[in-house]
Amino acid sequence: MQLSQRITHITGGGSDGWDVFYKARRMIADGEAVIELTIGEHDIRTDPIILGAMDDSARGGHTGYAMVPGTQDLREAVAERIQERTVVPTTYKNILITPGGQAGLFASHVATCNAGDRALYIDPYYATYPGTIRGVGAEPVVVRTHAEDAFQPRAEDIAAEAAKGAASLLINSPNNPTGTVYSAETLEGIAAVCREHDLWLISDEVYDTQVWEGEHISPRSLQDMSERTLVVGSMSKSHAMTGSRVGWVCGPEAAIEHLVNLATHTTYGVAGFIQDAAVFALDQGPDLEEKIAEPFRRRRQIAREILAEQNTVGLIPAQGAMYLMLDVRATGLSGEDFANSLLDTHKIATMPGESFGTAAHGHVRVAMTVDDERFAKALKTLVDHAQTLAE
Ligand code: PMP
């Protein structure tokens, strides 16, 4: 039986640059002591106080169907958080609760793209982006950024693609995989392109609590942008709740009304006890968010100190998120060859820049997700390895 093109084409086919990752996973399964610096999973688990709230809620009976758009309490808590950060009036009617940010990304593209529409996104990109766009039947169109700009997108490059016709633009700041936090100038440029070419802006802000340098600006707060922006957020990174699958889309009321219809016909909502735990977690305020972000802030500093002592491996500023993008071009190897040789020689697993598109070739992404001591040791080994290769 034939399956639809929409589903069979989600991955795009061919090598996706994730071979090193799968090799590391096989080595671990075979009992080898691999240091895993690949994916964005905290090295801590969800805080016991959040689990306590989840347990109380479930035992208190919140195990039936929850309201499809999200519970009133969680929608209000998210709206309040967004209003505080953007100063844009935001109510529960602007919020749909989703099973994680990924579901929010998918729903946002369903909401903004017709079949065959061009949907823009920025390279390097989070691995699911092109598949998400293909999954809704739209055409993914990449806009490249450049290492020499620290991967800040250039408005003129986006405008050149938008001028050929596009329905949406997907951005992500703080950025996975580059650690770049988009500057006010970058975001103003992007907003101007969206207004001029009548684009929906889908702003993936799942790392908004992980900012080490500069300031996170949500484009929802820019002039005339709240009516054409869908912000995707999540509890995964901010509260170490990756497995709970709880996130949101924030947008104009009319868009959210339609997104609620989509949720009714797809996910049918998010577990009530998970939503209650999310309300509890948000009620803890910024202190808990800072506690969860703190290890990454610390490790970024450790990395800066190690990297400052040499000039073979370059560091893209790493202004935010739980990753470092390291430039290993001085070794003469591609990111993929470097990552393979580091894994084979030293059992340290990193992600080749090529796993995230073409713009980060000759780079590797390091997730700062092991304890400080092992992290420092792994990074020193990575630097030594690069130096040996560069000689
Ligand atoms: N966007 C980005 C940039 C991510 O890195 C991730 C997770 N790694 C997500 C969205 C999705 O996160 P979740 O579905 O867990 O909220």
Q: Are residues 93 and 29 in the same domain?
A: no
E-assigned strand segments in 109-243? 118-123, 139-144, 168-172, 200-204, 229-234
Ligand 1 midpoint to CA 215 (Å): 20
* Ligand 1 atom with the shortest distance to the CA of 235: 16
Can you give the pLDDT at residue 14? 59
Bridge partners of residue 98, in order along the sequence: 247
In a domain, 177, yes or no: yes
The sign of the dihedral angle between the CA atoms of 179, 189, 139, 150 is negative
Nearest CA to ligand 1 atom 12: 101
Per-residue pLDDT tens digits for 308-360: 999 999 998 899 999 999 999 999 999 999 999 999 999 999 999 999 999 99
> Which residue, judged by its Cα, is nearest atom 8 of ligand 1?
40
pLDDT of residue 15: 61
Angle, alpha carbons 85-86-91 (nearest 5°): 95
Which residue among 234, 259, 284 closes a domain? 284
DSSP category for residue 46? S
Exposure string for 131-162, b = 16+ CB within 10 A, e = fewer:
ebbbbbbbbbbbbebebeebbbbbbebbbebb
Residues 10 and 133 in one domain: no
10 Å Cβ neighbour count for 127?
Answer: 19
Asked if the structure places residue 55 within a domain, the reply is: no
The answer to whether 58 and 273 are in contact (CB under 8 A) is yes
Q: Count CB atoms within 10 A of the CB of residue 279.
A: 18
At residue 13, the pLDDT reads 67
Kindly state whether residue 318 falls inside one of the protein's structural domains. Answer: yes
Dihedral angle, C-alpha 33, 39, 44, 47, nearest 10 °? -150
Q: Say how many Å lie between the CA of residue 246 and the centre of ligand 1.
A: 11
Contact between 387 and 312 under an 8 Å Cβ cutoff? The reply is yes
Last residue of a domain, one of 284, 299, 327: 284
Instruction: Read off the CATH number of the domain in which 20 is found.
Output: 3.90.1150.10
CATH code of 255's domain: 3.40.640.10
Please identify, by atom number, the ligand 1 atom nearest to the C-alpha of residue 321. 5
Q: Which residues contact 69 (CB under 8 A, 6 or more apart)?
A: 75, 95, 96, 97, 256, 260, 263, 269
Segments of the chain with pLDDT less than 70: 13-15
Q: Which residues line ligand 1 (CB under 6 A)?
A: 40, 100-102, 126, 172, 176, 204, 206, 234, 236, 242, 247
> CB neighbours of 269 closer than 8 A, spacing ≥ 6?
65, 66, 67, 68, 69, 70, 97, 263
Query: How remote is the CA of residue 102 from the centroid of ligand 1, in Å?
Result: 6
pLDDT of residue 12: 75
Look up the domain containing 249 and give its range.
Answer: 64-284
Q: Same structural domain for residues 272 and 364?
A: no
Using the 3D structure, point to which of 284, 303, 324 is the last residue of a domain.
284
In a domain, 294, yes or no: yes
Both 239 and 353 in a single domain?
A: no
CA 40 / ligand 1 centre spacing (Å): 8
Number of the ligand 1 atom closest to the C-alpha atom of 126: 3
Is 69 in the same domain as 121? Answer: yes
For ligand 1, atom 7, which residue shows the shortest CA distance?
40
Residue 232 and residue 182 share a domain: yes
* Orientation of helix 372-390 relative to helix 286-308, angle to 10°: 30
Whole-number Å distance, alpha carbon 375 to ligand 1 midpoint, is: 23
Q: Distance (Å, rounded) from C-alpha 205 to C-alpha 289?
A: 14
pLDDT score for 391: 87
70 and 16 in a common domain: no
| Protein residue whose Cα sits closest to atom 16 of ligand 1 | 101
Distance between CA atoms of residues 190 and 324, nearest Å: 24
Atom number, ligand 1, closest to the C-alpha of residue 234: 16
Atom of ligand 1 nearest to the CA of 175: 3
* pLDDT for res 140: 97
Name the CA radius of gyration of the chain, rounded: 21
Kindly state whether residues 336 and 297 are assigned to the same domain: yes
User: Per the domain annotation, does 54 fall within a domain?
Assistant: no
Which atom of ligand 1 has the smallest separation from the CA of 176? Answer: 3
Pair (87, 14) in one structural domain:
no
Q: Tell me the β-bridge partners of 323.
A: 367
- Residue 391 Cα, ligand 1 centroid: separation in angstroms? 38
User: Which residues sit opposite 250 in a β-bridge?
Assistant: 95, 231
Residue 166 is assigned to a structural domain of this protein: yes
Whether residue 200 sits in one domain with residue 78: yes
Asked whether residue 255 is assigned to any structural domain, the reply reads yes
Q: Are both 241 and 264 inside the same structural domain?
A: yes
Q: Which two tokens stand for residue 169?
A: 């633009």
**Ligand 1, pocket-test mutation among 41, 96, 102, most atoms within 8 A of CB:** 102
Does 215 lie in the same domain as 124?
Answer: yes
Report how many domains make up the chain.
2
